[in-house]
Structures are given as structure tokens and as C-alpha cells.
Amino acid sequence: MIKFFKKEFRKHLFDYLLLLTAGIFFILSLNLFQGERFLEFIILLAFVSFYIVWGTYHHLAIDKFHFKIVLEYIMIGFILLFLLKIIILP
């Protein structure tokens, strides 16, 4: 199983580095604008939107694009948005 993940990561290194970079930028942005509730929410919404677009692009690139996968990314994105909204923006 680990062998599969290493192979998959090497094959799509750019995609995963892009997601990792966006995640780091997201965390740094939240720290930079700490206390600004509206900006924190906009940053959170932008990251969730990026995550959905990234997931769609990634599955289009590997030819495994299905509506169910896009729906899964949308659901995970909105669950993430909801949970982080509760935790970060009380």
C-alpha cells in the first residue's frame, strides 16, 4: 500500500505540491488576519473553493473523472467549511 502511495505521489507531484502550497498559504493567511472575522471567512471560503476545483482538475488529469467524485469533493469542502467556521469563527 505504501508503495502505491509513493508511486502515485511521484506521478502527480505537481498536483500534490500545489495543494500543499495552497494549504500552507491558507494557514498563514488565517494567522495573518487573525481577529478579522469577515476576512477569515473569505479566506476559508476561497480555500474550500480551491480544494473543490483542485479535486476536479486532478481527477480530470488522471482520467478518473466522475460526477460522484466531484460531489464528494463538494461535500468534503462544505463539511470542512462548516467545521472550521464553528471552530475558527465562533
pTM to 2 decimals?
0.85
How many whole angstroms separate alpha carbon 75 and alpha carbon 79? Answer: 6
Please report the pLDDT score of residue 57 as a whole number.
92
Tens-digit pLDDT profile for residues 38-66: 998 999 999 999 999 999 999 998 888 88
d(CA 59, CA 37): 33
Please report, as a single letter, which amino acid is at residue 40.
E
Residue spans of the domains in the chain: they are 2-88
**What CA–CA distance (Å, rounded) separates 67 from 82?**
22
pLDDT at position 22: 96
Tens-place pLDDT, residues 3-22: 877 787 788 888 889 999 99
Please give the full DSSP string across 2-68, using - where no structure is assigned: HHHHHHHHHHTHHHHHHHHHHHHHHHHHHHHTTT-HHHHHHHHHHHHHHHHHHHHHHHHHTT---HH
